[in-house]
Structure 1
Amino acid sequence: MREVSEKCRDLLASGVYSVEWAADLLYDNDPKVQNLRVLEPAFKWDRGAQVQGSGSCQILWDDVFGESIVPRDIGDLFSPFGAELQVDVIVSAGAFRERISMGRFVLDSVPDGVEYAIERVHGGLPLVAESRVSLSLADYFMRIARDSFAFPASPQSTSMWEEAQRLTGLPVFRSIVDRVLPANITYEEDRLDALEKVFAPSNAWPHLTPSGALTALPKAWADPVGVLDRALSVSSEMRSENVYNRVVTEGKNPDPNGPPLIAWAEIRDGFLRTRNEDGSRSPFAGNTFQYRSDFLVTQAQCQAYADELLPKVARLRSVTRRVKEPFNPLREVGDVLTLVDPTRQGELSTVRVIEVAYSGGETVLNVEVAE
């Protein structure tokens, strides 16, 4: 949950406040333009995506000197070649005003740019009275994903946090204790895959703070940090794609000339069977869970882990709910909340946010329900 003052938290709970979106444009950590007017903001964070944060907005610009912000070349303001946008929300009521950091984004593309010109009184080229650019944005993980390894590599530090900082070049916020990295980790092409390997022994996902620092989001559920008690609607969702009836595990043979280490296990009966008794495809068919680990170094380990994983993934691990509430800029992916469900006579349940989207006057959450 985003950090704000107690007064701001009380104001948001009251529901009586005004909201204004604002942004600062930066390049190489140098502020270029501050307090930009943001129109039509739409932002989303998805824990299941490698690039978790994405969004779009329009920037409106009026300049007394008749300058335009529509980019025409690399290096222009708002050209998508390294420029960043710090996006904030300003919550106000009367004399109270507080600015909340929502996220630091990289400009991915400029889908549209419009200039509104007026004729000069004494001739000459028209003045640009107002210009507007539409921006497509993504968080820092997009930049890291683009910077792939030229060839396989290995960690250069035994510290999890030092290695994560080296891989990303980002400042780090140490949300979990440091640990010694295993010596047998190998990085392939994808730098974000490498980052996930660094955090995997700590049972955590890589994550970004609203200011763009690298942190870690523990996979274990924490205690609730708030109450979700102003839901406008709650709907349930059950998805078959998250239930698997076959597991394939792949290890890493310490002998470079040895055979590949691959094992599998599957369900043979019941609703989730992969095949019918006559060998034909079952009604559910097959859904395979792939798992690869450098820590599995023998065929027996691969088979044992496949057998261990199968009952864990071959069940309804969670039911998700889609919750709409009045605009609340404090919600973040990973927040554990107590949901007061108006569709179930105020029934209480513990949920964790896996997606959060801000658009218009609503906050839309996709949450998983604790088992």
Structure 2
Amino acid sequence: MWSLSTQARIALTQSHAMQARATVSSPTYGVLTLPLSGGSVEVDATSKVRRTATLQTDPRWWPHSPTDLLSPYGSTCRVDYGIVLPSGDTEWVPLLTGYLDETSRTRPITGSGDLTVKVADPAQRVAEDRLDVPAQTIANAPAVSEIARLVKATLGPQLDVIDETGSSASASVFIIERERWDAVEKLADFLAAEPFFDPLGRLVIRPQPTLSRNPVWTIRTGNRGSLLTAKDKRSREQVYNRVVASGQRTDGVPAVYATATDTTSPAYYGGPFGKKNRFYTSELLTTTAQCQATADALLARTRGVGAQVEIEALVNPALDSGDVLAVLDPETGETRHIIDKLSIPLTPDGTQSITTRSDELPAET
């Protein structure tokens, strides 16, 4: 969750005004703050490109040439959400820093005539930058530095990289056939981590989020609560209660492996849910400890996926995927949830959609 002042936290629980702005920078045109008439920012931890935005703006900015401001040929965009404080000041929360992906319009104009501009975070640029010929990672280089090297080769040496793993572990050398971002994710899996770009466009490498972390925000029902609706879903799809992670050898030597088993959630291994294994193999896993760390991280990623809650709530623009929410409901009490997806509307009348997962099932009634 983006850090907020005490005044902003209080304002979010009360009636308040908001603002939104999009600042576009073009290599040839310069910098302009676009007037926005609508739009939203989407955050999805299950997607390769975690942050995207759809913006509506004035039709006079239609790009007639590839060098115009809103042409998707190099222009960048930063989207911010403004919380108007009781003092009248505005506290700005960054939502997305990325590249213009598409600009479209409809003719003849029958409605507002607004342009629709789509923005994607830098992961899309990295994914598009596929290797001309196969290459290999650098021997004995820390996995974190290899992730940074692969991404900076696309985005430039000035890119800020935030490593929250603190790991100096080196991965085995492997061949990158074509897909640069796939190699980045593979190295992150080796570290039991996830790579993504934050609202400022910085590359973050952090351990997989789990429900053991403290909640960053509480959503309540009832009077003065921020929870509007909640839709519960229970499914076996994508739920695994044991992960087996193993190395990959071609020299005849038995590969190392380790298992991580769910023994505490309602879907615990061998219980009423049954036994459902997931198998993960990588040539980067050369020790039992590495296999164990990867298995633990993959289990944390799939635990609770079958207990999803879709929440409609008052907007908190500072929330992020991977954050832990506390939901207070008279029917179910307090439950904790990890955010997988959320949207931030850029209009005053919008509400926030949040998709979460939790392995804390409500009591049967």
Query: Normalised by the size of structure 2, how large is the TM-score?
Result: 0.75
Q: How does 1:207-218 map to 2 (within 5 A)?
A: 207-218=196-207
Q: Provide the residue aligned with 1:106 in structure 2.
A: 99
The residue number in structure 1 matching 2:32 is 34
Q: Please give the alpha-carbon distance, in whole angstroms, between the structure 1 residues aligned to 2:115 and 2:227.
A: 34
How many pairs align? 323
Tell me the CA shift for residue 31 of structure 1. Answer: 8.6
Tell me the amino acid that sits aligned with residue 104 of structure 2.
P
2:353 corresponds in structure 1 to 364
Bigger CA drift: 51-60 or 241-250? 241-250
Note if contact 1:251-1:297 (Cα within 8 Å) is conserved in structure 2.
yes
- Structure 1 segments unaligned to the other structure (5+ residues): 62-67, 117-129, 274-286
SS in 1 for 2:99: strand
Q: Are the equivalent residues in 1 in contact too, given 2:75–2:100 (CA < 8 A)?
A: yes
**Structure 1 residues 232 and 88 mapped into 2: Cα distance closer, same or farther (>3 Å)?**
same
Q: Secondary structure at the match of 1:195?
A: helix
Q: Which moved more, 1:40-49 or 1:157-166?
A: 157-166
Contact 2:127 2:179 in 1 (8 A): yes
Letter paired with 2:180: R
Q: Per the alignment, in what secondary structure is the counterpart of residue 162 of structure 2?
A: coil
CA contact (8 A) 1:352 1:370 kept: no
Question: What amino acid is the match of 2:327?
Answer: L
Kindly tell me: are residues 137 and 113 of structure 1, through their superposed partners in 2, closer, same or farther at Cα, counting changes over 3 Å? farther
1:144 corresponds to which of 92, 116, 126:
126
C-alpha displacement at 1:38, in angstroms? 1.5
Deviation at 1:89, TM superposition (A): 0.9
Where relative contact order (Cα < 8 A, 6+ residues apart) is larger, the structure is 2
Name stretches of at least 5 consecutive residues in structure 2 with no aligned partner: 153-158, 221-225, 258-268, 361-365
Q: Which amino acid aligns with 1:223?
A: N
1:354 maps to which residue?
A: 340
- Corresponding position of 2:143: 160
Going from structure 1 to structure 2, the CA distance change for 1:220 and 1:340 (only over 3 Å counts) comes to same
* 1:11 corresponding residue in structure 2: 11
Find out whether 1:231 has 2:230 as its counterpart. no
Rounded to whole Å, the distance in 2 between the matches of 1:183 and 1:293 is 10
Paired with 1:260 and 1:147, the residues of 2 have a C-alpha distance of: 36
Say whether residues 1:331 and 2:319 are aligned partners.
Answer: yes
Q: Distance between the aligned counterparts of 1:247 and 1:369, measured in 2?
A: 18
Whether the 8 Å CA contact 2:190–2:284 is kept in 1: the answer is: no
Q: Tell me if structure 1 keeps the 8 A contact 2:72–2:101.
A: yes
Q: Which amino acid aligns with 1:364?
A: S
1:184 to 143, 165, 173: 173
Change (3 A) 1:47 1:31: farther
CA 1:6–1:315: 2 relative to 1, 3 Å: closer
Verify the 8 A CA contact 1:81 1:107 in the aligned structure 2: yes
1:91–1:115 Cα change, 3 Å:
farther
What is the Cα deviation at residue 356 of structure 1? 0.7
Helix, strand or coil at the partner of 2:184: helix
Out of 234, 241, 253, the residue aligned to residue 237 of structure 2 is: 241
Q: Deviations over 1:205-255 (max 9, x none)?
A: 112111100002321422222212221111211233213699998853344
Q: Report the equivalent of 1:198.
A: 187
TM-score (norm 1): 0.74
Amino acid at match of 2:116: S
Which amino acid is 1:111 matched to? Answer: S
| 8 Å CA contact retained: 2:41, 2:95 | no
- Report Cα offsets for 1:327-357 as digits up to 9, x if no partner: 211111011121112553xx10111111111
User: Which residue of 76, 80, 83 corresponds with 2:75?
Assistant: 83
CA distances 1:180-219 after superposition (whole Å, capped 9, x unpaired): 2212333232111111122223211112111100002321
Conserved in 2, the CA contact under 8 Å of 1:223 and 1:336?
A: yes
SS at match of 1:240: coil
In 2, distance between residues paired with 1:181 and 1:152? 20
Shift of 1:93: 4.0
- 2:50 aligned to which of 37, 49, 52: 52
**Greater displacement, 39-48 / 139-148:** 39-48
- 1:202 maps to a residue whose letter is L
Moved more, 150-159 or 99-108: 150-159
CA distance in 2, matches of 1:161, 1:172: 9
Give the structure 1 partner of residue 329 of structure 2. Answer: 341
CA distance in 2, matches of 1:348, 1:132: 43
Partner of 2:280: 291
**Identical residues among aligned pairs (%):** 24
